[in-house]
Amino acid sequence: MNHVTLQGAEATLEGDFPKVGDVAPDFTLVDRDLNNVTLGTFGDSRKLLSIVPSLDTPVCATSSAKFNEATRDLPAKSVVIVVSADLPFAMTRYCTDNQADALVTLSMMRSREFARDYGVLIEDGALAGITARAVLVLDSANTIVHAELVPEISDEPNHEAAIQALRGD
């Protein structure tokens, strides 16, 4: 069991955060059109999973904007996916308001299984029921090549390291 903090207050996470070399667990999440989407939907693309508590918070919004900006220089067959507990409508509003058209936003609105399977579900404290902040990069076979569980939820992840991993650097 892992722990993270939110402004110094410890929060317990349910599940085990995947490690580099693990195969990413499959998932079913909800896209902006309310369709179920699985990991297989993205085929053999390289994938960056930016897992955030909510796009309605400044750190999540800033981090997502940085990943959106980075998509301009990514090779073909790469996708940046933002996963949160936000409703698809709120995620779409964020993308529209911030011209973040390169991001794929997916919601956990129908289930928290993704958060449990990826070891980022916050069990206690003020944010119980949503996710910690994390970034995973998967190769074309869904093997994890970069994994960062951000220890302090109010901190940003290492964007540069994640983008380099997505490029295959």
Catalytic residue among 24, 48, 60, 163: 60
Helix axes 159-167, 58-70, angle to 10 degrees: 30
- Both tokens of residue 137? 């990069």
**One-letter identity of residue 38:** T
CA distances from 37 to 16, 28, 129, 160 (A): 22, 5, 21, 27
Catalytic residue status for 95 = no
Instruction: Please name which of 84, 98, 99 lies closest in space to residue 31, comparing C-alpha atoms.
Output: 84
Active site residues: 60
